[in-house]
Chain A
């Protein structure tokens, strides 16, 4: 019981990290980015590539991978989403699905389809006992980095001029434009931020588990689940949602592995019907 909780929370950190960008884009641009999972995978593979091919130290490779993914996100926004985000949500869903396919296929052509993993020599002890639970120290490091980067994101959104512009666009697009905010630029920056955090999630995950281009869809679906539980468009919601989802999916796969997907999606349904704003959702304002 206790171990399920601990391991679930540790995993939840990465789920939250992956979901931040998804939530941000949904809140600000008002679109569901089906290519989000592809960004997570891209970030992981780019990090692995930088580290293995060029021998870049992990920390630098991680930052490189994250920023590279952010750049890809911004390019996607400028070239594609900028033209369609005012249409029905469905259009952008299909469009970003197409983008996910293209990114995945190009990734496969360039990097190959095999699963890759980045093994780090941290010099840390393998782990320690917390009560009866063995906590791998590396997992804890990754979890801590997740929390720190979440804090950085909160600061960026809450304390900077850039963050203010983003929030203004989220809360009221027209008056943001009236007060001189360039909508297109702000959306590109939003997508950059979203991609960066997606890439960060991938960069961390690739040190824990193998990553391959074809895995992108489950990341998208998981991000979806996280923000539905936590609340659409809310950063704190994504964090809480990620942790709750981590525990939920871990518990389901531990206690009833064969029907685990039915349990997680059943909980999702309960949320959708009885509490559509999620645990910490911003309410009907962003329900499109």
Chain B
């Protein structure tokens, strides 16, 4: 029917108006309903902590670890936090930001203006933390985070809005590179694999700086798109670069697994393979099995570290208790997630009972914070709100089944390390 339809009955203007009002009313009710249902209060005697995590998507595994660690902290303190000298019950609200920056912003807005949380802890991922920070900043609030270590956090939010409990990513390679540079014969050639995203370029820049310092040549540098599937072309590129002494992967755990698999499949045998900052993820060891032998990883925390706090006599004890509860050994993400509410607890212990969560005083308290003993090591922040810490120790997997031992820096080392590593 292409012709203009005959009009059966002309509706009165009133009817049209009525229709519009009804439609809009339906919208308003629809929007208001969940609001009423989800109403929660910053009731007295309760500390309401809000967070979002990328619970679905590529960071799913890591964020589950973070979530477990939040829970572990809550269990450790029996669900209570001492604020302004008074014990209060802890209440968590956690959402899934799907590693999507606009979702993270929206959820942070929800946490602050709708759920009215007292404290916000940061999510995991650079873009999402920056998006979150923009909202926190708009409200003039403060948050502690460890999920984004890029220098951009310092530039855009550091010191006034964000307090970052993790060291700069540019320093991630320090332990591993210092360790390798001290080996004999001294490594000369390095192949670098960088993911095409600012934070990975930052890690890569750190590696290049260390190479310059130690006189190592970066003979090949492969930049990969974030959605890369097949790592064999990369392995072939590395093969084409001749005998490499070191292959350094800046990417995450899956990239590390795939790169190791493909290098071993086509016979690329560098004298050392540095798997990057997520080599300690349980999935890497499980998947690579015996190929784990000799792989080096950088990590900012391990149960072997000589750290302690008021509840655990050692990081080892912390790790064992954690494993008994959740069935796996905590990674450094578990430790830095555990430390986020812990930092708040320490900062708020002696807050003003009248207005304990006042952003201005909280900011001052956080910047003055100086904790010697925590599960995460000494905690104090510089003027950009960054934890004072400048090197990530290196670990190496040795023995059968492979176990991680610290090989650098020298004062923490448990073993002399293996170089060159056995062939795949």
Question: Which A residues are within 8 Å of any B CB, using their own CB?
Answer: 3-4, 7, 11, 108, 113-117, 119, 126-127, 134, 136, 138-139, 208-210, 212, 214, 218, 249-250, 253-254, 257-258, 260-261
Contact = CB atoms under 8 A, between A and B. Distances in A.
B265 to A, nearest CB: 5
Given A4-B236, A113-B61, A257-B225, A210 B267 contact: no
Interface in B246-295: 253-254, 257-258, 261, 265-267, 282-283, 286-287, 289
Interface of B: 56-58, 60-61, 64, 196, 222-225, 227-230, 232-234, 236-237, 253-254, 257-258, 261, 265-267, 282-283, 286-287, 289
B286 to A, nearest CB: 8
Given A134-B266, A253-B230, A253-B234, A115 B224 contact: no
Nearest to A218: B229
27 contacts: A4-B236, A7-B232, A11-B230, A108-B60, A115-B253, A115-B283, A115-B287, A117-B261, A117-B287, A127-B266, A134-B266, A139-B265, A208-B261, A209-B230, A209-B258, A210-B287, A214-B60, A250-B232, A253-B228, A253-B233, A254-B233, A257-B222, A257-B228, A258-B196, A258-B223, A261-B225, A261-B227
Contacts of B282: 114
Contacts of B228: 253, 257, 260
Nearest to B281: A114
* SS class, residues of chain A in contact with chain B: helix
A208 B232 CA distance: 11
Contacts of B286: 114
Given A214-B60, A257-B222, A261-B225, A115 B254 contact: yes
A263 to B, nearest CB: 11
Contact of B267 (A4, A134, A254, A257): A134
A136 B64 CA distance: 36
A208 B257 CA distance: 11
Contacts of A254: 233, 236-237
Contacts of B283: 114-115, 210
Contacts, number: 82
Contacts of A138: 265
A258 B261 contact: no
Nearest to A246: B230
Nearest to A104: B56
Nearest to B64: A113
Contacts of A126: 267
Nearest to A251: B233
Given A11-B230, A210-B254, A253-B230, A136 B265 contact: yes
A254 B265 CA distance: 16
Contact of A114 (B61, B230, B261): B61
B99 to A, nearest CB: 11
Nearest to A249: B230
Contacts of A209: 230, 258, 261
Contact of B257 (A108, A117, A253, A257): A117
Nearest to B253: A115
Given A115-B287, A257-B228, 4 more contacts: A11-B232, A127-B265, A138-B265, A210-B261
A256 to B, nearest CB: 10
Among A119, A208, A253, A261, residue most surrounded by chain B Cβ atoms (within 10 Å): A253
Contacts of A218: 227, 229
The 3 closest A-B pairs by CB, nearest first: A253-B233, A254-B233, A113-B60
Contacts of A134: 266-267
Contacts of A11: 230, 232
A37 to B, nearest CB: 12
A126 to B, nearest CB: 7
Nearest to A126: B267
A140 B229 CA distance: 20
Contacts of A116: 287
B234 A257 contact: yes
Contacts of B258: 209-210
B322 to A, nearest CB: 18
A250 B229 CA distance: 10
B287 A257 contact: no
B225 A258 contact: yes
B40 to A, nearest CB: 27
A214 B229 CA distance: 12
Contacts of A253: 228, 230, 233-234
Contacts of A127: 265-267
A117 B253 CA distance: 13
Contacts of A108: 60
B257 A214 contact: no
Nearest to A255: B233
A136 B233 contact: no
